[in-house]
Structure 1
Amino acid sequence: MTMLLRPFLHDRLLHLLILLGLALACFAPFTLAQLPVAVDWPTIVTLCGLLILTRGIESSGYFNVLGRRLVLRFHTQRRLALFLVTAAALLSTVLTNDVALFILVPLTLTLKRYSALPINRLIIFEALAVNAGSLLTPIGNPQNILLWRHGGAGFAAFIWQMLPLAAVLVSSLLLLTWVAFSAERIQSTSQESSPPQWQRPLLWISAGLYLLFITALEVDLAVWGLLLVFVVFLLRARRILLSLDWSLLAVFIMMFVDVFLLTRLPLLQPALGYVSHLPAGGQYLMATGLSQVISNVPATILLLGSLPASTLLAWAVNIGGFGLLPGSLANLIALRMAKDPAIWWRFHLYSVPMLGWALLIGWALFLGIHAV
């Protein structure tokens, strides 16, 4: 019981969100019955399943094997960083940004066992990479799924409208990666003379359930998929369930509740009515700025009530994933998995300038395309 409660007692972000929710509740009209409905439960179910399965693969020890091979394969920090950033961007286009992070961040954390690498910086760049890569496809992130379903563009047409921004941002991030990481050879710090041991049964069970769970998500059977995962781990690896960061789910639940209460504030309602009357530049800044405060998925849901699912809105909310930590839920996932307090402020040293660059280049591309 102590193991389960410890994350909740020490999670300062969760405590802050609870206090914020209590403060908003004093001014926002709502009923208690509305609060459970405000939570995006499919997202919570998805996160829960991915948390369990990723910890299963991590506990199997296979990430140690793979991490050792990566250090031996890529001889410099720069090459390794370019590989991980490229992998994060590509995976996020087909597996969504959060799934890509659940695969790569635990793998990255194992690299510290074999070399003196800037692990925090690698994780930060992976978070930036999934934000840049996932904007390309309709299934890359939740906000694109919403925009794709509300808009009239087909799958290929959606990719075509996002391609210019995705190409420039991913290229810019790879250039920044080349500058930010040293060309020095990776110095091994491991004293292991033989390859690390790993638990094959746990890996195969976790990997098999991973594929089944992703399939269940695709066919809208996520709850049944989660139930299967939970039962198997309860029978075969109960300690993994006890050691999970369950407070992360509570953080996401409170974020949804706080966003709901924020949107119910009387002062905010008239402002939303004026959004559709803003010029294109105003809508662009509004969507990006709102994403910085309440995250780009809730911002998309909120703005789709006033704006069409246009290229401008799609670009703006995806750009809003950069910048401040709340801009994208993927940022929170990556930094939480790092388990290092220093990474929270270091993230903004790269993410905020990336937001400024994305805003400028996005607007320039938009004007250029519509001027043709």
Structure 2
Amino acid sequence: MTPLILITFVVVYLGMAIGYLPRLKVDRTGIAMLGAIVLLVAGAVSEGAAIKAIDFPTLFILLGLMILSAQFALSGFYDWCAWRLANVPWKPEALLAAVVGVAGGLSALLANDVVVFAMTPLLCAGLRARGLDARPYLIALACAANAGSAATVIGNPQNILIGQLGHLGFWRFLLACGVPALLSLVVVYLVVARVWRGRLTDGQPQGAPTPPPGAPGAWQLAKGLIGVGVLLVVFTTPFPRDVAVLGIAGCMLISRRFASRDMLGLVDWHLLALFAGLFILTGALADTGLPTRLVDQLTAMGLPLDRLPFVAGFSVLASNTIGNVPAVVLLMKVWAHPPEGALYALALFSTLAGNLLLPGSLANIITVERAAISGIALGFRDHARCGVPVTLISLLLAAVWLVALGYVAVV
């Protein structure tokens, strides 16, 4: 069955790079699920092996964090933040800095994809009402959400996976990745302000000002903040993280105001299905023994996986072709015993590399799609003008930081 597994793996990851199957409306999640189904139907993977390959603790943590983030979304917190940003009487440059700071800060503790999903429409409406070109602010929103999420082990799906499989502590992760993430937020602001300097001016207001969405519900917001506080405390203890996060999510679901259907509707089930399909696919590939032999050959050639050139090169290339989540799932499956410092490097580089091009991060795609619904076109070139320099400078700063502190070696 090894040839079938290899063919299926290649087809799936080519589909990941393209983003769809030609002439079919099958996206990346569908491609991953179809690959797993092919292996199951053909008998290349048994039901027991498929279930064993899925890392359920990682999926539980993702699910729990999405429900926690949904608590903030339904409380009106994200809408309130977006409206305040768009309507604060600041100069355009100060407003840009506020967008970067808020998006980066929220994404460090909550799911970055949910942050941009919730904030984009109201931010677009507010900026248009002020007569501002929304494009630089939306680019800053997406790039800052990616950069800010790199700071913590719960900031994005790939960090959650790396932290879970590598048993990385919350505060040690923040110590290693927090400074590069913060520097990257500064880079996002400086680059966007520089590239769009001629467009950061107040123009002719279009339409009536957007009405305020109403202050977030005090108790519902407090409930979410308590959940975040408990989460941070639990992540410093040996208590199982997946069980703790699910427990917090269960408390969020117990509500007299928000229907469970509405909260669960904000969960990115497609991302969870993508993870499950990739776990099965990469698990089958790992069982063939081929990845292990490939790793041994790379090491023999003087290119071990824990060195900076490999981690950085793999992250940039894979994140902007197959996507950072599939790339991390694949690498973590074949990397038997990665050192802690190399895991910090993988988390940083795979996340920051997502800013390079528009398809490099799901947050980028969500921002573009939500902006299009609001009537604002944000193209590939618009993003690349900022994304390329932001990524190159951010990766350089991250590399210098990691090498200087001894987290990863160059050779």
With the length of structure 1 as denominator, give the TM-score of the two structures.
0.70
CA contact (8 A) 2:82 2:123 kept: yes
The equivalences for 1:104-115 within 5 A come to: 105-115=117-127
1: CA distance between counterparts of 2:246 and 2:104? Answer: 28
Change (3 A) 1:186 1:27: farther
Structure 2 residue 211 is matched with structure 1 residue 191: no
In the TM superposition, what is the alpha-carbon distance from 1:290 to its structure 2 partner? 4.7
Name the structure 2 match of 1:171.
186
In the TM superposition, what is the alpha-carbon distance from 1:85 to its structure 2 partner? 0.7
SS of the equivalent of 1:70 reads helix
Of 314-323 and 130-139, more deviation after overlay is shown by 130-139
Instruction: Write the letter of the residue equivalent to 2:339.
Output: P
Deviation string 1:102-128 (CA, Å, 9 cap, x unpaired) is 446523421333331454653443332
Name the structure 2 match of 1:236.
257
Structure 2 residue 228 is matched with structure 1 residue 207: no
2: CA distance between counterparts of 1:326 and 1:306? Answer: 30
Which runs of no fewer than 5 residues in structure 2 stay unpaired? 1-24, 235-240
Instruction: Write the letter of the residue equivalent to 1:184.
Output: T
SS of the equivalent of 1:184 reads coil
Name the structure 2 match of 1:71.
86
Name the structure 2 match of 1:256.
276
SS of the equivalent of 1:262 reads helix
Change (3 A) 1:317 1:339: same
CA contact (8 A) 1:89 1:133 kept: yes
The equivalences for 1:335-354 within 5 A come to: 340=373, 345=380, 349=384, 350-351=386-387, 354=390
Name the structure 1 match of 2:248.
225
CA contact (8 A) 1:288 1:319 kept: yes
CA contact (8 A) 2:319 2:360 kept: yes
SS of the equivalent of 1:42 reads helix
Name the structure 1 match of 2:146.
131
Of 260-269 and 20-29, more deviation after overlay is shown by 20-29
Name the structure 1 match of 2:313.
285
2: CA distance between counterparts of 1:291 and 1:33? Answer: 30
2: CA distance between counterparts of 1:67 and 1:80? Answer: 11
Deviation string 1:178-205 (CA, Å, 9 cap, x unpaired) is 1244330265435259x5463x6x7234
SS of the equivalent of 2:340 reads coil
In the TM superposition, what is the alpha-carbon distance from 1:138 to its structure 2 partner? 5.4
With the length of structure 2 as denominator, give the TM-score of the two structures.
0.65
Name the structure 2 match of 1:307.
338
Of 272-281 and 79-88, more deviation after overlay is shown by 272-281
Change (3 A) 1:252 1:328: farther
- Aligned-residue CA RMSD in angstroms? 4.5
Name the structure 1 match of 2:59.
41
Deviation string 1:74-119 (CA, Å, 9 cap, x unpaired) is 44433222211122233444x25x2x55446523421333331454
1: CA distance between counterparts of 2:150 and 2:81? Answer: 28
Name the structure 2 match of 1:30.
45
2: CA distance between counterparts of 1:327 and 1:259? Answer: 20
In the TM superposition, what is the alpha-carbon distance from 1:261 to its structure 2 partner? 0.4
SS of the equivalent of 1:236 reads coil
2: CA distance between counterparts of 1:262 and 1:111? Answer: 39
Identity of aligned residues (%): 20
Change (3 A) 1:91 1:319: same
Name the structure 2 match of 1:85.
100
